[in-house]
Amino acid sequence: MVQGPVTVTVTGAAGQIGYALLFRIASGHLLGADVPVKLRLLEITPALKAAEGTAMELADGAFPLLQSVDISDDPRVAFDGANVALLVGARPRTKGMERGDLLEANGGIFKPQGAAINEVAADDIKVLVVGNPANTNALIAQAHAPDVPAERFTAMTRLDHNRAISQLAAKLDVPVTAIKKLTIWGNHSATQYPDLFHAEVNGKVAAEQVDEAWLRDTFIPTVAKRGAAIIEARGASSAASAASAAIDHVFTWVNGTAEGDWTSAAIPSDGSYGVPEGLISSFPVTAKDGKFSIVPGLEIDAFSRERIDASVAELGEERDAVRGLGLI
């Protein structure tokens, strides 16, 4: 049980995800319906006025659990005493930008934020990186926070997890609650692998309830490319669903997974399942007493192995690229 008040820092607070996220935090969905919250909003200087506007709306919500809202453009102020940090603000890829440029631009954000977390956050700080490329941004922040236990830096694949559950539930015409033990492996990118071989629908193996062609040619690409499909449809990347997944990730981390189920989160690898130690990769995880643990001992067949390896190889390339840029 969490004792309040809990200080929650949200970066990119004036952005689209921030707008969907802050009101759910204020109404108690992040930590629990009885946990008071102090919000700290971090934005870049030109967006401070927009953040003020959001803070005015938060005040207008008269949320019983919301004790304070502070806004800053200085990471050392915004992360001071933070118990939970949601790193949402990131540099989006713009026209003509190469992947290396994107990684470098994000290094300029996540390096100082990691250093500030190291210096001023609370001892129990938990960090969730949402801003893309989320896994590698988490690696950058972690590298600059040597005094914070490495496992406190996580990246979000809960949106992919939720998308996979929703697609499977629709296919089998079952409620989402019938689906357990779904796993997203690897990177939050189009190489991610949503695994139905360990997932269960009403207690039976999910992969055995769908035909192989649908699993391979429809389910996996639909989940993996859903972010791009949302951008195509909305003209902007997913925001409310991403905020909702961030809420789910932290709520589960703090309050635990249900007996007989697990979730997906990108956490530092301990070498399990052939994922090189230290890479922040998505795994099947349980949560208990505020800690994620990788579900041990799953058998990985050749079909899954190939896809996990491909996504993990991409994470390795991203790590090598940021290493080459001197960001970690």
93 is in an annotated binding site: yes
Closest residue to ligand NAD, based on beta-carbon distance: 15
What is the chain's length?
A: 328
Q: Is residue 237 within the footprint of ligand LMR (CB under 6 A)?
A: yes
Q: How many CA atoms lie within 13 A of 318 on its CB side?
A: 29
Residue number with CB closer to ligand NAD (118 or 237)? 237
Closest CA to 79 of 111, 50, 122: 122
Active-site residue among 29, 144, 161, 188? 188
Q: Which of residues 116-135 bind ligand LMR (CB under 6 A)?
A: 132
Residue number with CB closer to ligand LMR (238 or 269)? 238
Q: Tell me how far apart the alpha carbons of residues 307 and 293 are, in angstroms, rounded to a whole number.
A: 22
In the complex, what is the shortest distance from the CB of residue 155 to ligand NAD, in angstroms, rounded to a whole number? 7
Closest CA to 262 of 289, 292, 242: 292
Q: Would residue 188 show up in a list of annotated catalytic residues for this protein?
A: yes
Residue 202 Rama label (left phi>0; alpha psi -120 to 50; beta): left
Burial class of 56 by CB neighbour count within 10 A (0 to 12, 13 to 18, 19+): exposed
In the complex, what is the shortest distance from the CB of residue 132 to ligand LMR, in angstroms, rounded to a whole number? 5
307 is in an annotated binding site: no
Residue number with CB closer to ligand LMR (93 or 291)? 93
Choose the stretch contacting ligand LMR; rule: CB under 6 A; options: 80-88, 119-127, 175-183, 237-245: 237-245
**Among 179, 196, 230, 280, which residue interacts with ligand LMR (rule: CB under 6 A)?**
230
**Assigned token pair, 233:** 């449809």
Closest CA to 37 of 1, 76, 15, 69: 69
Q: Which of residues 95-124 bind ligand NAD (CB under 6 A)?
A: 109
Q: Tell me how far apart the alpha carbons of residues 200 and 210 are, in angstroms, rounded to a whole number.
A: 12
47 makes contact, choosing from ligand LMR, ligand NAD, none, with CB < 5 to 8 Å by partner type, with ligand NAD
Q: Which amino acid is at 143?
A: A
In the complex, what is the shortest distance from the CB of residue 101 to ligand LMR, in angstroms, rounded to a whole number? 15
Query: Quick check: 237 and 252 in contact, CB under 8 A?
Result: no
Paired residues of 38 in beta bridges: 7, 68
81 is in an annotated binding site: no
* Interaction site with ligand LMR (CB under 6 A): 132, 159, 227, 230, 237-238, 242
* Interaction site with ligand NAD (CB under 6 A): 11-12, 14-18, 42-44, 47, 88-90, 92, 109, 130-132, 134, 156, 159, 188, 237-239, 242
